[in-house]
Each structure stands twice: as structure tokens, then as C-alpha cells.
Amino acid sequence: MAFGSIADILFQWESIGFFDFVLPFLLIFSIVFGVLSYIGVFGKNKGINAVIAVILGLLSIRAGFFQAFLAEIAPRLGVGITVLLVILILVGLFVQDQSKKVIGWVLLGIAAVIFIIILGQMYTIFGEFGNGLGFDNPDTIGWIIMLGLLITLIVVVAVGNADKTSKHTGDFVKMYKE
């Protein structure tokens, strides 16, 4: 039995509607079922939660707009999550333990900015606000990134200088001390 490449398999899945129907259905089903189970509106009756999740999942894949929305937002969301993961790795390497709480708030702010940029690009693509929010302009994105980096730098410097008497250094620095 011969197998093609992974690209062939993905093209075959695409041709049968796996990415347009199955994955969006599973996404909506999982989110709705999880939320209904968590908040417990219907008690511990998972059957009702499953029926509602199936209905909302099927209704969502029926609308072509939802499929186009997912096709546009998934790659952008992937890039945004990758940026956050890289920042988390760098924070884990270089930031002292006392500063990690403040850095967590800064990362939350960065995540919010990334989310706003993604939504702005989505509105630009789908034309919800005419010309969109202007986030498709590279100059606007550059200014937002520069402003975010400037705010981050100010917070890091302010927190780093708050406790000069501390002898604690980050784990990264300890690795190279003898």
C-alpha cells in the first residue's frame, strides 16, 4: 500500500471539506460543550450540553462567513501565539523572580495588543468598518509595536531599579558564575 506525501494527504482532506466543515464544527462543539459543562446551567446532564453544542456547531458551519473567518484568523492567531511564546521564553531566561509578576501584566498587555491587531486586520479584510481600523497599514503596526516596546522597557527599568539592595540574580546569570 503506497502512501503519498503529507501535502497530498492534506490536499485530499481539503478536497473533502475537512478544514471547511469538520475542524470548525469540532472547534465550536468543543468550546460550547466545555463552557456549558463548566458553568453547569443544566446540572450534570452532559447529554443536553452535547445536543446544544452539536446544534450550535452545525449552525456555525452552515454559514460560509464563519469558515472564511476561521481561514483568515487561524494563521494570524498562530503568529501572535508564537510571538508570545518567544517573549515568555526570553522572560524566563533573563528576568529576576521578583519582577516576574509585573512582567506577567506586561505580557498580558502585549497579548491584548496582538489580539487588537488581529481583530483590526480581520475587520479590514471583511470590511465591517469600511476601510477597517487601519491595522493593515504597516506604519500603524510599526507604531503600535514601538509603543508597546517602549512601555515594556519603561516598566522593566522601573521594576529593575526598585530594589537595589537585593543580591538575587536571575538563573541565567547564575549559570555563568563560578
pLDDT of residue 176: 47
pLDDT score at 111: 80
What cell was used for 58? 452545525
**What is the average pLDDT value for the chain, to the nearest integer?**
75
Which of 29-33, 52-56, 130-134, 148-152 has the weakest average pLDDT? 130-134
Helix (H) or strand (E) holding 106: helix 100-126
> Quick one: three-class SS letters along 1-56?
CCCCCHHHHHHHHHHCCHHHHHHHHHHHHHHHHHHHHHHCCCCCCHHHHHHHHHHH
What pLDDT does residue 159 have?
65
Span 34-46, average pLDDT? 86
**Greatest mean pLDDT range, 81-85, 102-106, 119-123, 163-167:** 81-85
Give the pLDDT score at 129.
46
Q: Tell me: pLDDT of 30 over 60.
A: yes
Radius of gyration of the chain (CA): 23
